């Protein structure tokens, strides 16, 4: 018996050694679903100094034991195998979706490039609520969970993660089973005073890209020179350079050179310094929905299981219409297709003017005709009376207010009213149809007032999010970060979110059926 056990142990040991020798493909961070624009690494563990990589049995040019995918695209989908010293790893399958994740993560304060030990505030938003959500942080080898102190039924939440310790930190948020998640936010640290920021990151082919050369502690950047692969591409007054339409050839190593002053500076000459070098990745554009002039949302490549959602513009932000509701009031709208754990980019915005419904306009015309007719009746009645009574002007005035005439007017109005009751359904539904959504839309306005600012990969204007006020200070879960206390404003914002409960429950209920 004892000998048997030893034999088993021995066999297990051999198996273990064998496993140790065999290379293995490890994904970092370990995501359940991959999306366009994701940053991840494939590592060939247990490998020698040189490695061969295969994607769908085709050899890749890379020979390092780590593959960096800076802006994943659907073309990166497939079976990965690495080979070292003649031994091949197991197949590692990856599917990169051409959509964007359901939730959006944006930088609320701070920027993608920060001084070492700097801290940013991130904002997670999910239209369907954040119940059970958490965030994840990857710093190379390790991935940790960031717990969120969520109030029930909140759809957005601002938190301040711990200070930035390593050159590259990746954040994303997920629901409890990790199937549903947000886009990633990647943060870099620099020890330089001059920083090059790129929005959005990764850049999206066909869209614009903003490069900013900013200086820590100074808002007086006089001149910025931007370089790609050490060649000057632009010199600007100030700190911003925009590439109107990005294409794949814009990829490369970027840096900037700033000429600037500090406000309290006494020396005459300005400072001149370089930023660190950053690699610009360009992603293929995720699927985008299309909204027609008559408010029909479409997405040719989306499956049938992706219903559409509509959003109405409210100032600078977008209000989601209740599920299954299409725009029926004048305004500026956009739409997107929304699946189980992913969605398209929102369509371009379209102005819509709700035409007056046919039944409504007929009623309107009839009412006008009756009123005009009524006025004539009154006029002739007056005229006759004046003729017979030789009334002076003052009398006319008096008699107009007299009972007889008043009744006549009443009758006219009464007829208008009668007409209404002849078509109770038409007018009734009209009003309901217009009034109820208005009320709902108003309620939502408060809840969603900053849904407009979405993730860099969401492409909805993450840039604006950076400039937003710090009103929600105090909402984040403290991870030993300074200034975690206080901030009544944010609490109220979350309480407001709670008001939305009804809306969400109905959405959820519908979804599950």
Nearer to ligand NAG, 6 or 177 (CB): 177
Nearer to ligand NAG, 243 or 342 (CB): 342
Position among 85, 91, 152, 179 found at the interface with ligand NAG (CB under 6 A): 179
Selection from 156, 49, 66 nearest residue 104 by Cα: 156
DSSP string, 367-406: HHHHHHHHHHHHHHHHHHHHHHHT--HHHHHHHHTSHHHH
Number of H helices, E strands in the chain: 8, 36
* CA distances from residue 210 to 73, 201, 281 in whole angstroms, order as listed: 21, 10, 13
Q: Which stretch binds ligand NAG (CB under 6 A): 2-10, 175-183, 376-384, 393-401?
A: 175-183
Nearer to ligand NAG, 113 or 337 (CB): 337
Binding status of residue 247 toward ligand NAG by CB under 6 A: no
Binding status of residue 182 toward ligand NAG by CB under 6 A: no
Nearer to ligand NAG, 132 or 433 (CB): 132
* CA distances from residue 68 to 42, 188, 300, 374, 430 in whole angstroms, order as listed: 7, 16, 32, 81, 58
As a residue count, the chain comes to: 513
Nearer to ligand NAG, 175 or 278 (CB): 175
- Which residues pair with residue 195 across a beta bridge? 214
Smallest separation, CB 181 to ligand NAG (Å): 8
Binding status of residue 176 toward ligand NAG by CB under 6 A: yes
Binding status of residue 34 toward ligand NAG by CB under 6 A: no
Selection from 287, 319, 348 nearest residue 101 by Cα: 287
Nearer to ligand NAG, 132 or 217 (CB): 132
Smallest separation, CB 131 to ligand NAG (Å): 7
Q: Which stretch binds ligand NAG (CB under 6 A): 103-111, 173-181, 350-358, 389-397?
A: 173-181
Smallest separation, CB 178 to ligand NAG (Å): 7
Smallest separation, CB 470 to ligand NAG (Å): 31
Binding residues with ligand NAG: total (CB under 6 A): 8
Report the relative pairing of strands 92-94 and 87-88 from DSSP bridges: unpaired
Binding status of residue 126 toward ligand NAG by CB under 6 A: no
Nearer to ligand NAG, 134 or 366 (CB): 134
Binding status of residue 341 toward ligand NAG by CB under 6 A: yes
The binding track of 426-465 with respect to ligand NAG, each residue x by CB under 6 A or -, is ----------------------------------------
Position among 43, 146, 180, 507 found at the interface with ligand NAG (CB under 6 A): 180
CA separation for the pair 207, 192 (Å, rounded):
29
Report the relative pairing of strands 113-115 and 185-190 from DSSP bridges: parallel
DSSP string, 342-374: EEPBPPPPEEE-PPPPHHHHHHHHHHHHHHHHH
Smallest separation, CB 179 to ligand NAG (Å): 4
Binding status of residue 31 toward ligand NAG by CB under 6 A: no
Selection from 135, 137, 139 nearest residue 123 by Cα: 135
CA separation for the pair 154, 129 (Å, rounded):
6
CA separation for the pair 282, 457 (Å, rounded):
11
Q: Which stretch binds ligand NAG (CB under 6 A): 15-23, 169-177, 231-239, 471-479?
A: 169-177
Position among 30, 85, 219, 340 found at the interface with ligand NAG (CB under 6 A): 340
Residue nearest to ligand NAG (CB): 180
Binding status of residue 132 toward ligand NAG by CB under 6 A: yes
Residue 73 tokens read as 């695209």
Nearer to ligand NAG, 173 or 456 (CB): 173
Spatial CB neighbours of 5, under 8 Å, sequence gap ≥ 6: none
Nearer to ligand NAG, 177 or 353 (CB): 177
Binding status of residue 175 toward ligand NAG by CB under 6 A: yes
CA separation for the pair 164, 112 (Å, rounded):
11
Whether the Cβ atoms of residue 127 and residue 201 lie closer than 8 Å to each other: no
Residue 442 tokens read as 């108003």
Nearer to ligand NAG, 182 or 347 (CB): 182
CA separation for the pair 277, 254 (Å, rounded):
5
Whether the Cβ atoms of residue 490 and residue 473 lie closer than 8 Å to each other: yes
CA separation for the pair 207, 347 (Å, rounded):
14
Cis peptide before 255 (omega within 30 of 0): no
Q: Which stretch binds ligand NAG (CB under 6 A): 60-68, 177-185, 367-375, 397-405?
A: 177-185
Position among 177, 244, 300, 512 found at the interface with ligand NAG (CB under 6 A): 177
Smallest separation, CB 145 to ligand NAG (Å): 15
Question: What residues numbered 293-332 form the site for ligand NAG, per CB under 6 A?
Answer: none
Smallest separation, CB 33 to ligand NAG (Å): 9
Smallest separation, CB 475 to ligand NAG (Å): 22
Enumerate binding residues for ligand NAG (CB under 6 A): 132, 175-177, 179-180, 340-341
């Amino acid at each position: 018996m004892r000998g048997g056990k030893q034999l088993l142990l021995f066999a297990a040991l051999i198996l273990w050694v064998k496993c140790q020798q065999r290379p293995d493909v490890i994904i970092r961070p370990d995501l359940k679903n991959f999306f366009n624009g994701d940053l991840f690494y494939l590592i060939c563990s247990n490998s020698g100094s040189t490695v061969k990589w295969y994607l769908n049995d085709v050899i890749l040019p890379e020979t390092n034991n780590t593959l960096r995918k800076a802006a994943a695209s659907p073309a990166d989908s497939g079976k990965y195998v690495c080979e070292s010293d003649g031994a091949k790893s197991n197949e590692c399958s990856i599917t990169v979706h051409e959509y964007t994740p359901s939730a959006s993560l944006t930088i609320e304060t701070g920027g993608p490039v920060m001084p070492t030990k700097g801290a940013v505030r991130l904002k997670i938003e999910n239209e369907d609520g954040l119940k059970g959500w958490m965030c994840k942080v990857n710093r190379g080898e390790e991935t940790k969970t960031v717990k969120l102190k969520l109030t029930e039924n909140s759809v957005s939440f601002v938190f301040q993660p711990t200070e930035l310790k390593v050159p590259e930190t990746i954040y994303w948020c997920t629901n409890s089973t990790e199937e549903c998640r947000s886009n990633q936010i990647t943060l870099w640290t620099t020890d330089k005073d001059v920083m090059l920021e790129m929005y959005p990151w990764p850049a999206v082919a066909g869209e614009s890209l903003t490069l900013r050369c900013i200086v820590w502690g100074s808002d007086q950047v006089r001149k910025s020179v931007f370089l790609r692969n050490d060649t000057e591409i632009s010199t600007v007054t100030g700190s911003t350079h925009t590439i109107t339409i990005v294409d794949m050839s814009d990829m490369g190593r970027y840096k900037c050179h700033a000429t600037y002053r500090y406000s309290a500076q006494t020396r005459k000459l300005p400072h001149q310094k370089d930023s660190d070098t950053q690699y610009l990745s360009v992603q293929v554009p995720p699927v985008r929905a299309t909204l027609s002039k008559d408010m029909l949302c479409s997405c040719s490549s989306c499956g049938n299981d992706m219903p559409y959602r509509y959003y109405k513009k409210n100032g600078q932000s977008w209000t989601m219409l209740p599920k299954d509701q299409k725009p029926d009031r004048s305004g500026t709208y956009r739409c997107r297709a929304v699946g189980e754990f992913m969605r398209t980019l929102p369509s371009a915005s379209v102005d819509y003017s709700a035409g007056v419904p046919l039944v409504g306009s007929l009623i309107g015309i009839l009412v006008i005709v009756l009123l005009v007719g009524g006025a004539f009746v009154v006029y002739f009645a007056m005229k006759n009376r004046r003729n017979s009574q030789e009334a002076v002007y003052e009398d006319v005035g008096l008699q107009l207010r007299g009972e007889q005439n008043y009744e006549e007017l009443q009758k006219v109005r009464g007829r208008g009213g009668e007409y209404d009751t002849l078509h109770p359904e038409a007018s009734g539904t009209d009003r309901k149809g217009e009034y109820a959504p208005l009320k709902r839309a108003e309620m939502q306005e408060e809840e969603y007032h900053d849904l407009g600012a979405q993730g860099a990969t969401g492409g909805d204007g993450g840039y604006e999010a950076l400039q937003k006020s710090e009103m929600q200070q105090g909402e984040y879960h403290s991870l030993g970060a300074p200034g975690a206390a206080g901030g009544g404003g944010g609490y109220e914002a979350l309480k407001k979110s709670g008001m939305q409960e009804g809306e969400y429950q109905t959405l959820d209920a519908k979804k599950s059926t």
